[in-house]
């Protein structure tokens, strides 16, 4: 047992907790749909890791009669000291490559296993070189993932929409399809029938009428962008516009491309978008694509997708709007470097919903939101198998528990420091408009807060489950009270600051204790004090369960106590001695539960036993595993973990 000595005042906050360093369900449909997705290959090839893509020009002529495309895609990049034998681009073999050029020269290529291989130009150049490759192709893009490139039909009109996350860009244009490599800019040139409107990333450069009743739209994204955020939304939309005005008085357009029948339904909530941008700009830093736009485009999918500068929307709830808008910072400005770290996108966007709840509904609405999005099951937030789409978009881990990590971090570092961290993260020179890992974010948190957060990130991102606390207290014969906090979970012990709210005669205090072990005791002292109640983390800043087991008795005498001594032997193979003691007048119950919480056997039931006693549990008829012995006397409870081995 380790002791901490704390003295009661009307309010105590101890800032020594970590060592210092020198409204609808639309938002979650990506996670729900992922359960039905097939596995895909996500890893970069050896040669792809040697190239850096700097620019794409995507030029598509879309034929709605045959549901096919004719494409021309230019890919610019450079090669450094390590040089590949071929330039390799991800590209589905269900589309036909007609020809490939390196600059103006026709070249050979291999196109198999969804990989387009172009022989590296020229001989090895020690200092590296730049390249420009143009691919001409045609065909009908296959549907994969959440849709990728979809020929659709809505209310009697042709409709095309894309949703390429995580690995779907390769199904409709050749690219290095990995979130770690952002092109500096992208030109998107789309030709469609003249009744269609094309919405896409960045700024609309031109609309050009062409022969045969066709029209060409030219969009340009001038901010760095990764492949899965490049998008198309094509339909005879109703188009309207609003404006966001920054704190400096500068304005930015917010464009809305809506199905005509959705205009009245979505208009009220869509008008709130500018207020959300203003709110998030205050919390996160200025909207990151201010020189271009933000907007929404309706599409034929049941959720939302945070396409850079123009979110694709399958609904219009406030939660959905807030979630996808938060992604413009967390997912678009800073993108997870690999889908191992998708929580940096989805957990932050989920938390964006909670922040908007707090802004519009206050603290209680915020707390209710977090309570309603808690997850207590197994699995790591870190995605161990990013080749499986359902693992990436696990709603409980990548969204809900990840959102709780951001919520808990806010309390660990403090409110002002937390938002300072977010501002620093969004403006970080090496991460903004680039990509990040968990360790990159942790480094920012530690630099800003001055706190060593390794335990926090290891246990919550790479570890499983959550702490299960038991709180008890009893009078200290010398002075004050002894508070004991036990962690009952069978996996690792969590290192967390814990708020304790203590009430009683002459006591109304808030203290914070540093908790990190299986069992720790803390001393609170003060003459003439009687503790009536202790609440552990009543404001729910920790994802946890809490069990209470000690208070004063009916006559306000010293607390009634129950005590379980360590089971012996432990582990055991058939018989175990269980020693327990009680004080007071309550009858005792001694029961055994299995690891699932199912009652296995009652050893003592309803017999008043004051003093110390031994019970031998004969477990010869039970299988190996983890069990819990629980002693209850009145409302007071003690639990011991024991292991049966045969």
pLDDT at 28: 46
Mean pLDDT of 192-205: 98
Taking the C-alpha atoms of residue 264 and residue 248, their distance in angstroms, rounded to an integer, is 32
323 in a domain, yes or no?
Answer: no
pLDDT at 537: 97
pTM assigned to the model = 0.82
Q: Is 246 helix (H, G, I), strand (E, B) or coil?
A: coil
Mean pLDDT of 277-302: 97
| φ/ψ bin of 62: left (φ > 0), alpha (ψ from -120 to 50), beta (otherwise) | beta
Mean pLDDT of 581-599: 79
- Interior angle at CA 395, CA 391 and CA 399, nearest 5: 105
- Interior angle at CA 92, CA 86 and CA 97, nearest 5: 70
Contact 322, 269 (CB under 8 A): no
475 versus 575: the higher-pLDDT residue is: 575
Which of the four pLDDT bands, split at 50, 70 and 90, describes residue 608? low
pLDDT at 524: 85
Mean pLDDT score of the chain: 89
pLDDT at 397: 98
613 versus 625: the higher-pLDDT residue is: 625
- Same-domain pairing of 569 and 491: no
Contact 484, 4 (CB under 8 A): no
Mean pLDDT of 567-576: 87
237 pLDDT above the threshold of 50: yes
- Same-domain pairing of 546 and 492: yes
**pLDDT tens per residue across span 480-507:** 789 999 999 887 999 999 999 998 877 7
- Same-domain pairing of 524 and 574: no
Question: Can you give the residue range of the structural domain that contains 580?
Answer: 560-646
DSSP states of 82-95: S--SEEEEE--TTS
528 pLDDT above the threshold of 90: no
Which of the four pLDDT bands, split at 50, 70 and 90, describes residue 607? low
> How many domains is the chain built from?
2
Sequence-ordered list of residues with C-beta below 8 angstroms from that of 40, at least 6 positions apart, any chain: 144, 145, 166, 167, 387, 389
Which of the four pLDDT bands, split at 50, 70 and 90, describes residue 560? low
- Same-domain pairing of 570 and 531: no
367 in a domain, yes or no?
Answer: no
473 in a domain, yes or no?
Answer: yes
Mean pLDDT of 467-472: 95
537 in a domain, yes or no?
Answer: yes
**pLDDT tens per residue across span 247-288:** 999 999 999 999 999 999 999 999 999 999 999 999 999 999
Taking the C-alpha atoms of residue 53 and residue 45, their distance in angstroms, rounded to an integer, is 14
- Same-domain pairing of 530 and 484: yes
Taking the C-alpha atoms of residue 336 and residue 619, their distance in angstroms, rounded to an integer, is 50
221-225, 548-552, 642-646: lowest mean pLDDT where? 548-552
pLDDT at 162: 98
527 pLDDT above the threshold of 90: no
- Same-domain pairing of 476 and 528: yes
- Same-domain pairing of 498 and 478: yes
pLDDT at 35: 44
234 versus 524: the higher-pLDDT residue is: 234
- Same-domain pairing of 490 and 506: yes
448 versus 624: the higher-pLDDT residue is: 448
200 pLDDT above the threshold of 50: yes
Mean pLDDT of 438-465: 98
- Same-domain pairing of 527 and 593: no
Which of the four pLDDT bands, split at 50, 70 and 90, describes residue 553? very low
505 in a domain, yes or no?
Answer: yes
Provide the token pair at 57.
Answer: 């020009």
Taking the C-alpha atoms of residue 277 and residue 322, their distance in angstroms, rounded to an integer, is 9
* Residue 62: closest CA among 175, 186, 207, 216: 216
Which of the four pLDDT bands, split at 50, 70 and 90, describes residue 297? very high
487 in a domain, yes or no?
Answer: yes
pLDDT at 476: 74
Beta strand spans in 306-454 (E): 311-313, 334-336, 434-436
Q: Which helix (H) or strand (E) holds 79?
A: strand 68-79
- Same-domain pairing of 542 and 583: no
At which of 559, 594, 613 does a domain end?
559
State the CATH number of the domain containing residue 491.
2.60.40.1840
328-332, 438-442, 634-638: lowest mean pLDDT where? 634-638
384 in a domain, yes or no?
Answer: no
**pLDDT tens per residue across span 344-403:** 999 999 999 999 999 999 999 999 999 999 999 999 999 999 999 999 999 999 999 999
- Interior angle at CA 469, CA 468 and CA 471, nearest 5: 160
- Same-domain pairing of 573 and 546: no
**What is the percentage of the chain residues whose pLDDT exceeds 70?**
88
**pLDDT tens per residue across span 27-42:** 445 665 554 343 344 4
474 pLDDT above the threshold of 90: no
pLDDT at 1: 37
Question: CA 229 → CA 28, 223, 224, 331, 616, distances in Å?
Answer: 18, 12, 10, 9, 64
Provide the token pair at 611.
Answer: 């003093």
At which of 559, 585, 601 does a domain end?
559
Do the bridges between strand 334-336 and strand 434-436 make them parallel or antiparallel, or are there none, so unpaired? parallel
pLDDT at 342: 98
pLDDT at 637: 73
Contact 96, 137 (CB under 8 A): yes
Sequence-ordered list of residues with C-beta below 8 angstroms from that of 582, at least 6 positions apart, any chain: 560, 561, 562, 563, 588, 609, 610, 611, 631, 633
138-152, 156-170, 243-257: lowest mean pLDDT where? 138-152
Contact 201, 221 (CB under 8 A): yes
State the CATH number of the domain containing residue 646.
2.60.40.1930
- Same-domain pairing of 620 and 567: yes
Taking the C-alpha atoms of residue 308 and residue 527, their distance in angstroms, rounded to an integer, is 62
At which of 507, 542, 559 does a domain end?
559
Residue 572, judged by CB atoms within 10 A of its CB (0-12, 13-18, 19+), counts as: middle
153 in a domain, yes or no?
Answer: no
């Amino acid at each position: 047992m380790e002791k901490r000595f704390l003295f009661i005042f009307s309010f105590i906050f101890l800032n020594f907790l970590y060592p210092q360093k020198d409204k609808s369900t639309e938002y979650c449909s990506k996670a729900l749909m992922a359960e039905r997705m097939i596995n895909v290959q996500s890893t970069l090839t050896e040669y792809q890791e040697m190239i850096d893509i700097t620019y794409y020009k995507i030029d598509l002529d879309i034929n709605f009669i045959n549901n096919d495309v004719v494409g021309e895609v230019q890919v610019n990049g450079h090669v450094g000291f390590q040089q590949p034998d071929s330039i390799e681009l991800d590209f589905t073999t269900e589309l036909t490559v007609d020809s490939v050029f390196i600059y103006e020269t026709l070249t050979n290529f291999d196109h198999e296993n969804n990989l387009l291989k172009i022989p590296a130009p020229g001989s090895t150049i020690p200092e590296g070189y730049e390249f420009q490759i143009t691919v001409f192709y045609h065909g009908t893009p296959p549907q994969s993932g959440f849709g990728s490139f979809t020929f659709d039909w809505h209310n009697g009109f042709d409709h095309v929409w894309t949703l390429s996350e995580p690995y779907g860009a390769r199904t409709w244009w050749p690219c290095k399809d990995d979130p770690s490599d952002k092109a500096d800019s992208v030109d998107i040139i789309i030709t469609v029938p003249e009744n269609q409107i094309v919405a896409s990333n960045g700024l609309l450069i031109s609309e050009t009428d062409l022969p045969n009743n066709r029209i060409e739209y030219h969009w340009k994204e001038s901010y760095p962008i990764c492949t899965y955020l490049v998008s198309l939304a094509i339909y005879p939309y109703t188009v309207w516009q609003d404006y966001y005005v920054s704190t400096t008085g500068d304005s930015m357009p917010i464009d809305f491309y809506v199905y005509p029948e959705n205009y009245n339904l979505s208009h009220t909530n869509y008008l709130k978008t500018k207020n959300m941008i203003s709110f998030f700009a205050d919390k996160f830093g200025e909207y990151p694509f201010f020189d271009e736009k933000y907007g929404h485009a309706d599409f034929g999918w049941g959720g939302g997708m945070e396409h850079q500068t123009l979110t694709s929307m399958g609904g219009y709830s406030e939660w959905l709007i807030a979630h996808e808008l938060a992604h413009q910072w967390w997912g678009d400005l800073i993108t997870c470097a690999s889908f191992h770290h998708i929580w940096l996108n989805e957990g932050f966007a989920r938390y964006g919903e909670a922040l908007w709840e707090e802004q519009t509904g206050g603290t209680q609405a915020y707390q209710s939101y977090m309570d309603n999005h808690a997850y207590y099951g197994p699995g790591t937030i870190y995605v161990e198998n990013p080749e499986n789409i359902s693992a990436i978009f696990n709603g409980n881990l990548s969204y809900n528990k990840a959102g709780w990590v951001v919520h808990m971090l806010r309390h660990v570092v403090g409110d002002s420091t937390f938002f300072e961290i977010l501002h620093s993260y969004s403006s970080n020179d090496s991460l903004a408009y680039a990509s990040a890992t968990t360790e990159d974010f942790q480094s920012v948190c530690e630099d800003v807060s001055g706190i060593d957060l390794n335990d926090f990130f290891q246990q919550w991102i790479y570890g499983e489950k959550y702490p299960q606390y038991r709180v008890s207290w009893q009078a200290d014969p010398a002075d004050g009270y002894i508070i004991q906090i036990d962690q009952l979970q069978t996996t690792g012990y969590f290192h967390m600051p814990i708020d304790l709210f203590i009430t009683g005669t002459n006591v109304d205090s808030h203290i914070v204790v540093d908790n990190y072990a299986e069992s720790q005791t803390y001393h609170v002292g003060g003459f003439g004090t009687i503790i009536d109640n202790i609440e552990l983390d009543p404001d729910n800043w920790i994802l946890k369960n809490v069990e209470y087991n000690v208070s004063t008795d009916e006559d306000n005498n010293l607390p009634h106590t129950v005590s379980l001594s360590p089971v012996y032997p432990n582990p055991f193979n058939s018989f175990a001695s269980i020693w327990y003691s009680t004080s007071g007048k309550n009858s005792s119950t001694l029961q055994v539960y299995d690891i699932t919480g199912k009652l296995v056997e009652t050893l003592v039931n309803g017999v008043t036993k004051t003093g110390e006693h031994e019970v031998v549990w004969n477990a010869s008829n039970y299988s190996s595993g983890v069990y819990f012995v629980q002693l209850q006397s009145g409302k007071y409870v003690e639990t011991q973990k024991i292991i049966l081995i045969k």
